[in-house]
Structure 1
Amino acid sequence: MLLNDNGKQKSPKRRFLLILGVTAFTGFCILGLMIIFWDKFPLDLPVTQRRIFGSIILIYAVLRFSRYLRKSPEDEE
């Protein structure tokens, strides 16, 4: 059972958004790592540009997930 800090069960909307956020985070991380490390990735960029692009995608994934984890005022009730 998914519980909030105060012991209440999370709403179905909150649970769905958690699952969606974790899925998006995982997907962006996998995509960024594929772009960085997969040599035969079908993207015609030099190695340096591929690594920069993959790093930007990884940073975006972390920022997106951290923004999700930050509590909004209506969630603190």
Structure 2
Amino acid sequence: MFNFETFKQKSPQQRFLFILGLVMFLFYLILGGMLIFGTQLLNQIQPLYRMLLGGLLIIYALIRFTRLINQKPEED
């Protein structure tokens, strides 16, 4: 699981990539939520397909998050 000690020990580049991964996770999660719950976003798409795309984006965000949290520390 996530350990704050390993986060403190990461190099600045690894820390930046970790934060960028969190930002992308939030982007996909929010975009998926906007597609599902937003009525004005992409009104041309049928509601069923909009919900499926939103659900797919949320699932993808969760997969990215689990891969980000379960990263093994690299041995240099």
The TM-score with structure 2 as length reference comes to 0.80
SS of structure 1 residue aligned to 2:6 = coil
Q: Which has the higher contact order (CA 8 A, sep 6+)?
A: 2
Deviations 1:57-77, CA, capped at 9 Å, x for gaps: 0001111121122223x6267
In structure 2, the residue matched to 1:11 is: 11
Q: After superposition, where does 1:1-77 map in structure 2 within 5 Å? A: 3-4=5-6, 9-72=9-72, 75=74
The TM-score with structure 1 as length reference comes to 0.79
Unmatched segments (≥5 aa) in structure 1: none
Separation in structure 2 between the aligned mates of residue 16 and residue 41 of structure 1, nearest angstrom: 31
Identity percentage over the alignment? Answer: 37
Unmatched segments (≥5 aa) in structure 2: none
Q: What amino acid sits opposite 2:70 in the alignment?
A: R
Deviations 1:35-76, CA, capped at 9 Å, x for gaps: 00111113411111111110000001111121122223x626
Q: Which structure's CA Rg is the greater one?
A: 1
